[in-house]
Structure 1
Amino acid sequence: MQIDTLSEFLTQAGTEFRLYDLGRRLQPLPRADFATIEAGQRPYPWPLQRHAWLAVSYWQQGAGAQRYVWFLKIPLDERGLLNQAAIKHFLSALVEQLGQDPGAPLSDEQQQRLAQTPFTFQPAQDKLAAFHARLSQDLGLPPSAYYRPVLEYLQAPERRDWQQLGLQGLADLAARLATEPALAQQLGQRLFRLPPPVQQALLSQCEQQPLPPALATVLLAQISIEQERQTPDEERISLLLRATAGCAPFPARSRKIASLLTLAPGRPLMLALAARLWQELTDESLLLQYLAQLAEHHPTLFNGLFAELVATPALRPLILANLHNPALPAPLRDAIGQLFATARG
């Protein structure tokens, strides 16, 4: 049996499946979009370190079927397309484990063998928790047993020890903020009265999920409060901004980023914008402002972050169109020149 794509394998196996990107942050990947990516008709939209980082959840049709998950790290070619040889290698490993029956269930031992291929990876615990929370939410399944204690803690923090809260429960809460307005409002009212470790964990989970606009506005306001301190905490500003990453670009955030970029931004903010908020950089003025600050104040980061941004399909045309822009500031022109001189050897 000739099977050339992952989607074809899963479909012929009679499974239902969902796909998510786990690279820069958790994002659902529609099956129709993935089919065009597999066919080589478009580059992978969210590359990280020249790879696609995929979570594939699949299950046999029917109530009560066991769900399996693969975490796949698939290399991309110089055009940003999926490396077809890597896909075929993984598929051949699947067929080897399953024989000629793609619908056969995988045993735990077979799962372990597949995990030893060079195309699998193990996500960090916080991203793994976010993935399971989002998958359960998308499939209409109940949250984990850790969710109820988190809700009870949010309602009355003084009655519970925050150190007993489970990470999965925090992730379950973040995954429900976009669809439960009352919960989002409650979090916005109480988040910044919670102990710093709880704030940090919740903000880290928020960056993996879509948020309602009202809560995103609360987070931006907290950035302004932090900026008014005598010595603003750059890590905290970055964390607050990253927490809004699941929101589509909106004017208030764009203005806040532009303002932050005028203040000799530190390393945490520059990394956060490239890793989590690249969609804001599709605004050409913000992109050029970002690159100029990166070249002038963070030259050691320039080559690596420039390479990641130019590999992002949404940003690549904008960057290439400005490589020879005479209006670029001198530090940025010099950094680009040095980058290409190094690449030429």
Structure 2
Amino acid sequence: MQIDTLSEFLAQAGTEFRLYDLGRRLQPLSNDDFAAIEANQRPYPWPLQHHAWLAVCYWQSQGQAQPYVWFLKLPLDERGLFNNGAVKHFLAALVEQLGQDVSAELSDEQQQRLAQTPFTFQPSPDKLAAFHARLGLSLNLPASAFFNGVCEYLQDPKQQDWQQLGLQGIADLAARLHQNTELSQLLASQLLTLPTQVKDALLTQCEHQPLPEPLTHLLLNAINSELEHAAPNQERIAQLLRATAGSPKCAERQQKVASLLALNPSQPVMLSLAARLWQDLADETVLITYLAQLAELHSELFNGLFAELVSIPALRPLILGNLHNNDLPPHLKRALGSLFTGVR
């Protein structure tokens, strides 16, 4: 029997598996959605640089569940569909190294060979920690040995040495905020007064996890406080906004995005919206405002960010539907004209 997809390969090997996207931020991808994507019935929902950045976790259905993980970077075509030739190429390399037993122990040499294919990648430490935290929680595995130390630190930061904290413990805490009210309240009471290094690490991990509504509200309010300064820290504003990215869309954040776009938005804010909060650009008015401000204030970024945004299926129809809109702001019209003139 010919096997053409990852889903078929993992099913035939008698495994259960879960998938996560690690491109723009950590997001679970259901097996059913992935099967439809593999069948080219729908585009990949979160492309980055014309690739799908996947974490594939699998384990044998029978016996002790020992999870294994592949990190795969699979090319997409201009419509966001899987390049099936690339998938088959990876599967051929996989079978060559593993045979039919996906749980077989690989030698160092075999692992190196598999890693040398163009379809694997190593996530950044932040994303790797976020992934392990979310995966462990979903599989009911215990938190890392660093988790309790982070909780103890938050109880009394002045009496603890933050340099002893482990990144995985911070990620484990962020992954549990949406289901642990006590933990969320503890973080909210301390977050904005923590040393910069700890605060930065926590906010970065929050980008990849769903947050409870009160914590999202706290972060958005912190943006208001920063904006009241004579010289607001634009990097901090962007960081606080990004930290809410894993939370569901909400009216409060939509209003915050709209207000930031009306205030000559900084480059950090514009980059954060494209990289982490593209879902809040799915409102046509907000999207046009974003592109217009990008063209007027940050023209050096326009071509690259436009190419990324137009590749996202949730935004692509809105963008393409406005290419010939006569009511577009002049700066945006000129930027689009230059873009497509250059393409030709």
Give 1:126-275 correspondences, 5 Å limit. Answer: 126-275=126-275
Contact 1:12 1:102 in 2 (8 A): no
Give the RMSD, CA atoms, in angstroms.
1.0
Q: What displacement does 1:326 show?
A: 1.1
| 1:117 matched to 2:125 | no
Structure 2 CA distance for aligned equivalents of residues 66 and 247 of structure 1: 30
TM-score between the two structures when normalised by the length of structure 1:
0.97
Structure 2 CA distance for aligned equivalents of residues 200 and 182 of structure 1: 21
Q: What displacement does 1:104 show?
A: 5.4
Q: 1:215 to 1:104 in 2, by over 3 A?
A: closer
Q: Which residue of 1 aligns with 2:106?
A: 107
Q: Which residue of 2 aligns with 1:291?
A: 291
- What are structure 1's unaligned runs of at least 5 residues? none
Alpha-carbon displacement from aligned partner over 1:156-194 (angstroms, at most 9, x marks no partner): 112210011000000000000011112111111111111
Structure 2 CA distance for aligned equivalents of residues 168 and 108 of structure 1: 27
Structure 2 CA distance for aligned equivalents of residues 78 and 114 of structure 1: 27
SS at match of 1:256: helix
Structure 2 CA distance for aligned equivalents of residues 83 and 194 of structure 1: 46
Structure 2 CA distance for aligned equivalents of residues 37 and 277 of structure 1: 23
Q: Which amino acid aligns with 1:281?
A: L
Q: Which amino acid aligns with 1:132?
A: H
Alpha-carbon displacement from aligned partner over 1:96-144 (angstroms, at most 9, x marks no partner): 1123x24551424333321111100000001100000000011111100
Structure 1 CA distance for aligned equivalents of residues 103 and 159 of structure 2: 49
Q: Which residue of 2 aligns with 1:5?
A: 5
Q: Which amino acid aligns with 1:274?
A: A
Q: Which amino acid aligns with 1:67?
A: P
* Range moving further from structure 2, 104-113 or 123-132: 104-113
Alpha-carbon displacement from aligned partner over 1:40-93 (angstroms, at most 9, x marks no partner): 000000000000000001111244343211000000011110100100000001
- What are structure 2's unaligned runs of at least 5 residues? none
Structure 1 CA distance for aligned equivalents of residues 83 and 134 of structure 2: 28
Q: Which residue of 1 aligns with 2:50?
A: 50
| 1:71 matched to 2:98 | no
Structure 1 CA distance for aligned equivalents of residues 69 and 196 of structure 2: 33
Q: Which residue of 2 aligns with 1:97?
A: 97
Q: Which residue of 2 aligns with 1:342?
A: 342
Q: Which amino acid aligns with 1:42?
A: R
SS at match of 1:94: helix
Structure 1 CA distance for aligned equivalents of residues 236 and 102 of structure 2: 48
Q: Which amino acid aligns with 2:37?
A: I
Structure 1 CA distance for aligned equivalents of residues 147 and 202 of structure 2: 13
Q: Which amino acid aligns with 2:87?
A: I
Structure 1 CA distance for aligned equivalents of residues 55 and 332 of structure 2: 37
Contact 2:59 2:103 in 1 (8 A): no
SS at match of 2:94: helix
SS at match of 2:72: strand
TM-score between the two structures when normalised by the length of structure 2:
0.98
| 1:316 matched to 2:316 | yes
Contact 1:9 1:102 in 2 (8 A): no
Structure 2 CA distance for aligned equivalents of residues 102 and 132 of structure 1: 24
Q: Which residue of 2 aligns with 1:279?
A: 279
Contact 1:220 1:241 in 2 (8 A): yes
